[in-house]
Amino acid sequence: MTPSKVATPDLTAEERLRLYTPEQVIEMGLLPYTVRTLKIAAHQRRIPHTTTNRKIRFRLDHIFAIQQAGEVDPATRGRRRAA
């Protein structure tokens, strides 16, 4: 899922551009993972993130995308997707 497809709440330009370290994301309780898990997933390109100076950073829209990727819809639970 790409961050541009995620419906994010109204954010200011500064909030949209602010970058958070994996440590800050976990410290603030924004995602229920460990710092190590976030870093590994980012290195494996399984979650959206930004790399600045070879350091992993997250914007709020990345965090929203990661949260939404884990959502389960009870209405479609157990159903197969159309091929």
Instruction: Note down the domain range covering 60.
Output: 15-69
Does residue 5 lie in a domain region?
no
Q: Is residue 75 part of a domain?
A: no
- The count of domains in the chain is 1
The percent of the chain in helix, strand and coil, each rounded to the nearest 5, is 45, 10, 45
Residue 45 lies in a domain: yes
- 33 within a domain of the structure (yes/no): yes
Q: What is the pLDDT of residues 10-54, one digit of tens each?
A: 778 888 889 999 999 999 999 999 999 999 999 999 999 999 999
Residue 34 lies in a domain: yes
Residue 10 DSSP code: P
pTM over 0.85: no
- The reply to whether 21 falls in a domain is yes
- Does 56 fall in a domain? yes
